[in-house]
A and B are shown apart, each in its own frame.
Chain A
Amino acid sequence: MADSTEKNRKKQKRTKTKAVESTFLSKTSKYEKKGRTKMKGKRKGRDNDQRKRRGGGPRLPNVLRQELGLDAKRNSSSESDSEGGEDVRDFYELDEEVAQEESGKNRRFDEVENYQYELPDNFEDEEVPSDEGEDDSDKSEGEDQRDKEDGERHLRMLQDITGIPKEAFDGEKKKREEVLLSQADVRSEIVTIHDLLAPLQGMPGYSSLRKRVLQQEKQPMTLQAPLPKSERDKVQRKVSDKFARKEITKWEGVVKRNREAPTLFFEQDQNLGYSTVGAIASGFEPRTEFEKQMAQLRQDPELVEAYKNDGAKMLELNKVSVKDVIDRQNRLAKMRSLLFRHEMKAKRIKKIKSKTYHKIKKKERQKAASAELEMNPEAAKQQAIKQEQKRAEERLTLKHKNSSKWAKRILKRGLDVQDDATRAAIAEQLQKHEELKRKMNSMNNNESSTDEESSDDDDEEEDESKRALKALNKAKEKTAKVLEEGDEAPKKGLFALPFMERGLKKRQEEAYEEARQALEDYDATLNQLQDEGEEGEEETQQNSSAVKMTGKRTFGPAKKPVAQEYNKRQRLDDFGKDSDSEEEDGEFDEPVPQIIEDKNDKTEGVQLGTALLDEEQVMAQHAIFRNLDDMEKAVGPKTSYEVAIFAGDSFRKVRSDSGHSNKATTSSVIHTSKPSHETKETDQSYETDSDTEMVEGFLTTNLITDQKPDYELPSQAELVRRVFAGDDVAAEFERDKLETLNEENPEPEKPALVPGWGQWTHVQKKKGLPDWMVREHEEKKRKRGEALKKRKDAKFDHVIISETINRKAEKLMATSLPFPFTSKEAYEGNMRMPIGPDFNPASALSALNRPEIIKKPGLIIQPIEYEEVDPDETHDQPKRIIQGAKPKQSSKEKSKKGKLSNKLVPKTLGKKVKST
């Protein structure tokens, strides 16, 4: 059963591609048959060959072979066979296949040195082609001729019948061959779920199963749209930035060290290059006569031979006993067997994994990922970005291609010459390339597979009609509701205005009308649907026509002829396809009912569509209503806001009123307070007076007690001055202080009006000074008070500290922080130490004021060279940079390279020996 369906599908395919040439069917099929038989014969011959070569297994009948699926394999492999001399594996030779780890397939296994003897790769290949070639030449010559003759005869006949030149048919022949190939491909294709489902048709639960399968298939395999250019560029930049950063960061250590070193010395390289006597000796070349003689003596073959012989004597000491050798061999064999067993075990496990577990796992993962992608647009985007990044990275590195400079060079030199690591790297590249290619191919396959999707099912019909019913009912209810509710009109705010009301009414009426119509429509469609349910499935077509009658938009009739046409064409195709295999001829009319069903579905879809449309309309109306409602609702807060404005205004008024009153009160307070202040002042003055009195008393007492004889009798004026000098000193000082304060922070002028201003009547006179004047004055006073509080001498009664700015001294200070410094603290901390010779001992002085760079005149500063720097190193010592010196690393590398080349030479030699 499955076989037949598969054939059917194949047939369909071919009919699609070959519909035009259906007229020449019979002939071509014949020709094909012949070709096939020929091929069979060929295969037989080769089979024999193989049997000869390998000893072979039992000869099985063709049918059995086909049953085993061997035939298909043969078929597919036959082409490749003829092209390259590849081995064709027989059924019985399956276990002799090269182990995966040995073949190095997929690089899944660790690289193990092969202990067993192995033939060189080309060992078998050398013989086989010659053998086969002879065979081929023997047998195929005659056949080819026959083929040619046949083809020509056929062509001639075609030309006779159609009158078209034979070149056209020549091309066709090729095409046919291609078709053959594709057929072979198809035959080997995997069985689809549809093929499996087909026999279940008519069984209980079939429809639901089918539906599920279809649903699964329906989920479109969408390709991610390419990211916009800006995004792509961004990704590109990101990747390239990463690489650039990696490249640059390695310099960090060197740069940091140089930056932080207090001083850089640049010095000439004093190194002569030779460090040891041996180094000098190795570079020695005989120049003078004597030297040459000596060299000749040293390189005398006899002498060398003698030396070697001497060495051979020493080799005797290295003799190993037979027992030891045997032991070693045994041990090695044991190890090898152990290894082999282990490998076998690993292989088995791997095989199991790869067949089932791995596949399932992979599929699951993919499914989950795709589901997540579909669910989450963010994730999808991220995935896209990630992929883009990967791509960009790969493009940047070009690791998957052998086009990089490095790879080219290595390939040019030959892979065999390289060491293991490089070879591995190259292999990795190739593998990556392969992977990417495979990916690309698989992507293409997927696309093609998703293209083929069969049409809908008839069993869905029922459910869908039910759903439509439900939807319609719902819509009806909703419209009814709206009709009932729609009468309410807003009665306040903006919508209460007469013209707005009128407009609203108009719109409402329209909406009402529409809604009613919609309701009617719903009724009609509902009736129809119900009728449908009663009449059953077979009359769906009629229903569709009834739908047409309602006058709504329908697409049914336009579709029908197309479908019929399609039917016709398909039938023709079927003819074309069937012609090559007569057994399948009987089944050509099968797909027709399917298509009819399709059509039905479509009409139904249309029907549903109308319903949905209607619903949409209703929803739109709803939206209108909703909008209105919203507006109505919005009116509420708006009005309230207005009210709030009014309220706010009034409130503000109230507040301002209150403010006025407050101010009035405050001003009155001020007025009242003023005289009191004055009294206070007077009080203070009294106090000070009393103070001074006390001071006077003190002074006088002092003077009385101080009656020591002076060495000079002061003059009368002096005496008087002295007597009264202490007069009121503190008060005087206070006055002075006040004066200076006033000088530096002048007291604000008292607000005053021009006499007569605002005094037209007594009413105005009462008001006094305007508010703003008073306010300003108070503000100024407050500011002055603050300024005075901030003064350094604010706390001291007996001290006046001038706060005038010293303009002349400003030039001795920095206006802003000098360049590298970012904080004042750091700068001043750095400046605290004097660095001059007057303040520091001479031994420490040089370190204090050594310049940043020291170099001899004429020395050329070379560009910075890369060096490994210890990040934890302290940099407080002056760094000496020696110009012209080669960095240590490069010399190391050199030596490494030399060693490598030395290693490589014998290997290549060995290979050469082998090949010869």
Chain B
Amino acid sequence: MGEKEESNEPQSLNPASNQEEGILDKLEKKAKKYLRGNKTNLKNLRDKKLKGQLEVREKIYGNTAKVAARAEEWLKPSEEGLLEPENPLERTYRIQQSSILPEVDVLSVSKAFDMKLPDLGPYTIRYLSNGRYMLLGGQKGHLAMIDVLKMDCIKEFQVKERVRDVVFLQNDQLFAVAQKKFTYVYNRHGTEIHCLKDNQHPLKLEYLEKHFLLVGTNNFSQLHYQDISTGQVVANYRTGLGPTSVMSSNPYNSIISLGHSGGKLTMWKPTSGKPLITMLCHHGPITAVAYHPSGNLVATAGMDKKVKIWDLRKFESIHSIPGHAQTLDFSQKGLLALANGSRIQVWRDKGDQDFGLYMTHSIPKGYQVGTVKFRPYEDVLGLGHSMGFSSILIPGSGEPNFDSWVANPYETSKQRSKKEVRALLDKLPPESIMLDPGSIGMVRERQRKEKLTKREIEQQMVEAVVEVKSNVEIKNKTKGRNKPSKRAKRKQEEVFNAKKPFLEKQRETKEGPPQKKRRVLLEVAEDLPKSLQRFAKKKPM
């Protein structure tokens, strides 16, 4: 379970005090991150028992955060590298791949390569989430699965059909291909496992890992959700905005975004037939969409010769890059790659959401880049273009430390299968896809016409009674009607009167509204001949 954390418990540190303080400061900062929000304010709590318990709980959380912060030091040993200019006049985007390659280590050099596949292009590419495997899909039916770690072609085959998109499913064992008419699922040996006929003429595919959902758009401008663990079609919605092949999923909340020809970006979840959010992003068709791994930023490219980066919290564009882009992708560390024709640009957040050009690259003229994809856990950008595939080095793009519980590039088959089982057990229902997944388990805001629960009614009743008791004014009466017993009785009556409506409400919640009338009507209907029974309801009593 937690072997690695235990094995990596921090040893006692006893260098100079200054160093120690620095370390402590760092630890505190990290611990703050692991506290996942501010400490709850318990001062307003009246319940002393709860207060005590929560205080204890809060202490435990604090300790946990500290332990996690300490563990982080050992679990995340390496930091991402970046191209850093030596003087202010130097620009990182002037640095070419040719000048990078001689500087880096041999292993990294091997990661930058080109594959010339001129016949069956243009190619789309996909990496597996752990960055080990890559799928190549040539438009003219060429499919290949490559182990990029070992530089080994696992399977290569021809489907002799137009291939629009390829996507890995849960792991390297299965992948889905959007072909001319249907979506097919193949295993790593190239065997066709499924032909998903529900989604005809697919244009684009996306896979939601935690929900086991394969999402596709088709030529009929439909959005199609299919559960690949059960095979059920979870949802199939008509977007009503025209067929689109611009699709991306939000890694934070698994919401699917579609870019449309009207310049709109729509966000979807499987449980609602209407888009959650519709944004007018461009004055022209949207050509590409990509999400930042944090889920807060989305980059869109439109035909209006603009690439915009939007903050989804404010719904406003925080940066606009002039130029066309056929494809966009965010790296794990937040680098944005965009490709237009044979030119590739990489933009980087220099802090405070201020994006600046980080690197440029151009492949030989005439090559048209179809897809750009950052390879997870590596500083590599893969380009699928009309003449095959190339990969270039983009320093600082990938996450340097992988979490084997999340994605392990070096996993064994056993680990893989275990992980698969675990993932199946932890599978999230499609309902859990929502704009703010943090609200799961929280108290839902009450809708207007909702019935009150029994407890709430009781609470209200208690409040009302208290109010009546405090406000009740009993007049002084004469002739034996002012006895304490009588006064008490009167008071009690008042209290009962205050209680009455709530008691009635409670009864209603318990029994439901009276159904007497309906039964009578049914009886009447039984008397009638069958042909007239359906009119019985309309007949007045």
Residues of A at under 8 Å CB distance from B?
230, 256, 259-262, 695, 698-699, 702, 705-706, 708, 710-712, 721-722, 725-726, 729-730, 732-733, 736-737, 740, 793, 796, 798-802, 804-806, 808-817, 820-834, 837-838, 840-845, 847-848, 875-876
Contacts and interface: CB of A to CB of B under 8 A. Distances in A.
B64 A822 contact: no
Given A729-B263, A802-B275, A842-B6, A811 B431 contact: yes
Contacts of B116: none
A848 B64 contact: yes
Given A699-B283, A830-B57, A837-B1, A711 B50 contact: no
Contact of B50 (A726, A730, A732, A826): A826
B45 A260 contact: no
A262 B61 contact: no
B36 interface: yes
A722 to B, nearest CB: 7
A722 B242 CA distance: 13
B57 A844 contact: no
Given A708-B324, A729-B280, A826-B45, A722 B303 contact: yes
Nearest to B63: A844
A721 B260 CA distance: 12
Given A711-B341, A809-B431, A822-B47, A705 B442 contact: no
B277 A725 contact: no
A841 B75 CA distance: 11
Contacts of A796: 315-316
A620 to B, nearest CB: 19
B279 A798 contact: yes
B2 A695 contact: no
29 contacts: A260-B56, A261-B56, A702-B284, A702-B305, A711-B122, A711-B341, A711-B368, A722-B284, A722-B285, A722-B303, A725-B284, A729-B284, A730-B283, A736-B278, A740-B278, A796-B315, A801-B277, A806-B434, A809-B440, A813-B440, A813-B444, A816-B455, A823-B44, A830-B57, A841-B64, A842-B1, A842-B5, A844-B64, A848-B61
A812 B41 contact: no
Nearest to A829: B40
A147 to B, nearest CB: 65
A799 B3 CA distance: 48
B80 interface: no
Nearest to A843: B67
B462 interface: no
Contacts of A708: 324, 340-341
A833 B64 contact: yes
A806 B277 contact: no
Nearest to B324: A706
Nearest to B42: A826
A816 B277 contact: no
Contact of B49 (A259, A699, A710, A736): A259
A845 B274 contact: no
Interface residues of B, number: 79
Interface string B34-61: 0111111110111101101111110111
Which of A726, A740, A805 has its CB near the most chain B CB atoms (within 10 A)?
Answer: A726
Contacts of A737: 278
Given A809-B271, A809-B434, A831-B442, A699 B52 contact: no
Contact of B262 (A259, A710, A725, A820): A725
Contacts, number: 219
B53 A820 contact: yes
A26 to B, nearest CB: 63
A701 B272 CA distance: 39
Contacts of A706: 305, 324
A801 B64 contact: no
Contact of A699 (B38, B264, B304): B304
Interface string B419-432: 00000000000011
A262 B441 CA distance: 22
Interface string B328-340: 0000000000001
Nearest to A737: B278
Contacts of A834: 36
Interface of B: 1-3, 5-6, 9, 35-42, 44-47, 49-50, 52-57, 59-61, 63-64, 67-68, 71, 122, 261-264, 269, 271-272, 274-285, 303-305, 315-316, 324, 340-341, 368, 386, 405, 431-432, 434, 439-444, 447, 453, 455-456, 484
Contacts of A260: 49, 52-53, 55-56
A809 B67 contact: no
B441 A841 contact: no
Given A725-B261, A828-B443, 10 more contacts: A259-B49, A711-B368, A730-B280, A733-B263, A740-B274, A802-B272, A821-B50, A833-B61, A841-B64, A843-B6
Contacts of B47: 820, 822
Contacts of B447: 805
B42 A729 contact: no
B50 A822 contact: yes
A256 B284 contact: no
Contacts of A830: 40, 54, 57
B283 A726 contact: yes
B284 A726 contact: yes
Q: Which 9 interchain pairs have the tightest Cβ spacing? A: A842-B2, A829-B40, A711-B368, A260-B52, A813-B444, A844-B64, A841-B5, A798-B280, A844-B67
A829 B37 contact: yes
A826 B40 contact: yes
Contact of A837 (B2, B41, B122): B2
A749 to B, nearest CB: 21
Contacts of A711: 122, 341, 368, 386
Contacts of B36: 832-834
Contact of B271 (A808, A825, A848): A808
Contacts of B285: 722, 725-726
A381 to B, nearest CB: 14
Nearest to B281: A798
A230 B52 CA distance: 41
A699 B39 CA distance: 51
A67 to B, nearest CB: 63
B284 A815 contact: no
B465 to A, nearest CB: 19
Contacts of B434: 806, 809
Contact of B432 (A256, A259, A712, A809): A809
A755 B399 CA distance: 73
B483 to A, nearest CB: 11
Contacts of B281: 798
A813 B439 CA distance: 7
A915 B165 CA distance: 118
A414 B352 CA distance: 90
A809 B276 CA distance: 14
B300 to A, nearest CB: 12
Nearest to A734: B280
A573 B441 CA distance: 100
Nearest to B444: A813
Contacts of B5: 841-843
Contacts of B441: 812-814, 831
A816 B453 contact: yes
A260 B303 CA distance: 63
Given A706-B305, A708-B324, A804 B272 contact: yes
Nearest to B343: A708
Contacts of A811: 431
Nearest to B428: A812
B528 to A, nearest CB: 35
Contact of A845 (B2, B271, B284, B431): B2
Given A830-B40, A876-B60, A814 B444 contact: yes
Contacts of B405: 838
Nearest to A736: B278
A632 B405 CA distance: 96
Contacts of A816: 443, 453, 455-456
Contacts of A833: 35-36, 61, 64
